[in-house]
A = this chain, B = another copy of it.
């Protein structure tokens, strides 16, 4: 029911904005490139006859009228921001598949009972500004608007100021009404490809716990300071990175344990590091197992600090528990995939998505498509046009079934 070539062309046009050397994209949240991507999206939505509103956290909603326009909209969407060395499909695919559904509804003259909207959520990635999923978190009351407006980027910019600068400090209130929410996304992992499945029916998302660790040793000269007298913050922190890895390797199920940022102070070749800051990201589909990973991680950091004669402080930075999606809506995704004869399987999302926060407020489901070699958050991220078209088709069917005719 959708035009796969038109979807593919739109993906290619969007990928020109913030294109990187190795074929990926850099459109960090609320950067000039993110603004350019948003502007292009808005122009496409207006051309498709939608009414565009922007809320106070910069989320964009492009609305196609419903037969009963007083009913709350069925919202489809995802995000346009990327990682610093991100791919062309993470987030973007969900937004442009949703736009393709609207274009296709127009082409076919299909009227839905509920209005239909395409949402672009602000700062899903959590890279330039942290944590992730800010736009959806504000709309669902997980975060207050004010705390998020005051977030400061790695580059020192304040989020509220960047909204104004890029022209996306909207006026709409942040308690956007929704009847249901549907998000199509690339899997970002290898499961569908390895098993040869065309569609992932996402039953929920695994839980996440993010931390910030600060290790404090004693700065000293790399030359005349004997090895046995050192309190090297980096030697201790590197043992902690190894311990985080072990927490991941020694957990049953599908655990993840990652250190993505590590900063050394004073950052001089001939100074024993006096302070190291690093981030930790632990994930598991099972809440008890995630709690156990948390305990083992904390114990390992404390023990390593003790052994190395350094201080270590762990700050809880962000978390969400394992989050199931709405069964009736998930069933509808499975039925749509089966209806087209697409091979499919149920799958738990390894990543956080705006759908995770929205699921706390309205019935929510996600549709995954395979990505090449399971690689995401990487410039080489790739999908096949056929997989993209299949995902958009399942989104179309699920949307129509949910929005009613």
B258 touches A272 (CB 8 A): yes
| Structural contact, B221 and A351, CB atoms closer than 8 A | yes
B contact residues around A248 at 8 Å (CB)? 227
- CB pair B374–A229 under 8 Å, yes or no, is yes
A372 at the interface (CB under 8 A from B): no
Q: Name 15 A/B residue pairs within 8 A (Cβ), A-sorted.
A: A85-B274, A187-B224, A208-B223, A220-B375, A220-B376, A222-B258, A222-B377, A224-B349, A224-B376, A226-B254, A227-B256, A260-B270, A260-B271, A262-B264, A274-B378
Question: Which A residues between 220 and 269 are near B, CB-CB below 8 angstroms?
Answer: 220-229, 232, 234-235, 237-239, 241-242, 245, 248-249, 254-269
CA distance A114 to B270 in the complex (A): 36
Instruction: Kindly report which residue of chain B lies nearest to residue A276, judged by CB atoms.
Output: B262
* Cα(A349)–Cα(B223), bound, Å: 8
Answer whether A255 and B227 are a contact pair too, CB < 8 Å, given A219-B378, A264-B260: yes
Give the complex CA separation of A271 and B261 in angstroms.
9
Contact A377 B221 (CB under 8 A): yes
Chain B residues closer than 8 Å to A59, beta-carbon distance: none
Among candidates B222, B254, B375, B378, residue contacting A256 with C-beta atoms closer than 8 Å: B222
Interface hit among A5-13, A125-133, A161-169, A172-180:
A125-133
Inside 8 A of A190's CB, which chain B residues have their CB?
224-226, 229
Given contacts A225-B256, A234-B259, 19 further A-B contacts (CB under 8 A): A85-B266, A85-B274, A154-B267, A187-B224, A189-B223, A189-B224, A191-B224, A220-B375, A221-B376, A222-B256, A223-B350, A225-B350, A227-B257, A229-B374, A261-B268, A263-B264, A270-B351, A271-B377, A272-B377
A254 and B229 CA atoms in complex are apart in Å by: 12
The interface residues of chain B lying within 8 Å CB-to-CB of A272 are 258, 260, 377
Q: Does A56 count as interface, using CB distance less than 8 angstroms?
A: no
The proximity string for A residues 343-385 relative to B, scoring 1 for CB distances below 8 Å and 0 otherwise, is 0000001111000000000000000000000111111000000
